[in-house]
Amino acid sequence: MQNEKVFIFDTTLRDGEQSPGAVLKPDEKLEIALALEKLGVDIIEAGFPVSSPGDFRAVKTIAKRVKKPIICALARAVEKDIKIAWQSVKDAQKSRIHTFIGTSDIHIKRQFKKTREEILEVVAQRIKQSRSYTDDVQLGLMDASRSNIEFLCKVIKVGLKVGVRTFDVADTVGYRLPWEISRLIKKIREEVKAIKNKTIAVHCHNDLGLATANALAAIRAGVRQIDCTINGIGERAGNTSLEEVVMALKVRQNKLKLITNINSKEIYPTSRLVSKLTHMPIQPNKAIVGRHAFAHASGIHQDGYLKHKQTYEIMRPTDIGLKHSRIVLGARSGRHALKYRLSLLGFSPSDEQLVKIYKKFLKIADKKRIVTNKDLRVIMEEE
């Protein structure tokens, strides 16, 4: 049986750019969009066009230049927003409007200052408007994870009647636990039978560090589109990390039986490009793309890795576009790792010589965090 596909909806250029200080120039947004196209994402949410003239120009340029993915523009459920969103993406080979509205009582009452009935009316009106421009309309259910389930299902049913293709269930404040997200998706599918012919997406935030776990739980419950960003950037603690979801599906493909269209060898270069242009450093121990993700510093780990790489690596660095893993020499490194590094530098000490060299190595390692090739050459010159 053919494995099902999970669609990757990348919102680096929209939600990712909402990270404090991560504002991108139009040409930088285009550069990232072209990298996302090469990466193989299915949908690029290119921006929020009504927010500024610059963002409108950027989305419009991306719509003209980027050919393979669907180009999507975000719009509030407001007539002007939707009109401008369409103007920005109408030149794309494949375009989508993503309009959103709050569905939780706290959002309805405190932010939108409306009643539930008014929200249902707005959804019907603004989806009809969006559908007058394009058949591909996505309805964002903001704060869905804290919404009354009966009302949430009413909103979805209204959306179905007026032609929504994709329903984006948002854990906007990263509040829910994985089993709660799974239960929510299952409940929606049980209560709204007609949704089986549409796409359910999830948009998870990382406030409790659960965005990737929640996205995977949603996938297990039947979701087939994941909203994510490169390096997990985004509002507050960020969004679901594209590289984490994609590599989880790839590494555990035998268990999950699902695929994506992502060329994983483009993950690392795309990650570095986004980090550079947004001026947002990647934390060293970040999963998949962090500087230490394929680095081994413990003597026990180094020994195992050098004997057989799979002892301490569940994926290859080449899978994400890295050339190789790193053996980092420090105070916790063993003789096996030291001998290996020396061999790379052209030295072949005997076992007796290695004992003396290792003692000198430890003296330096106790003073420095990392022992460099230059340090090793000094030791070998003395020997």
Looking up residue 193, the CATH number of its domain turns out to be 3.20.20.70
Do 156 and 300 fall into the same domain?
Answer: no
Do 247 and 348 fall into the same domain?
Answer: no
User: What is the structure's pLDDT at 382?
Assistant: 83
Q: 329 is written with which tokens?
A: 């020499």
Do 186 and 304 fall into the same domain?
Answer: no
- Which of residues 225, 244, 278 is at a domain's end? 278
Nearest alpha-carbon partner for 49 in 59, 63, 41: 59
User: What is the structure's pLDDT at 1?
Assistant: 45
Q: 162 is written with which tokens?
A: 């007026």
pLDDT, one tens digit per residue, over 85-125 is 999 999 999 999 999 999 999 999 999 999 999 999 999 99
Confidence label for 248 from pLDDT (cuts 50, 70 and 90): very high
- Which of residues 278, 303, 336 is at a domain's end? 278
Give the integer Cα–Cα distance in Å for 271 and 229: 10
Beta strands in the chain (DSSP E): 4-5, 7-10, 43-47, 70-76, 95-102, 137-142, 166-171, 199-204, 225-228, 258-259, 295-296, 326-327
Domain total of the chain: 2
Confidence label for 3 from pLDDT (cuts 50, 70 and 90): confident
User: What is the structure's pLDDT at 2?
Assistant: 59
The pTM is what?
A: 0.94
User: What is the structure's pLDDT at 369?
Assistant: 87
- The verdict on residue 288 lying in a domain is no
- The verdict on residue 290 lying in a domain is no
Q: In whole numbers, what is the pLDDT of the chain averaged over residues?
A: 96
When mean pLDDT is compared across 21-25, 33-37, 141-145, the lowest value belongs to: 21-25
Do 353 and 212 fall into the same domain?
Answer: no
- Contact predicate 235/19, CB 8 Å: yes
Query: What domain range includes position 177?
Result: 4-278
pLDDT, one tens digit per residue, over 250-273 is 999 999 999 999 999 999 999 999
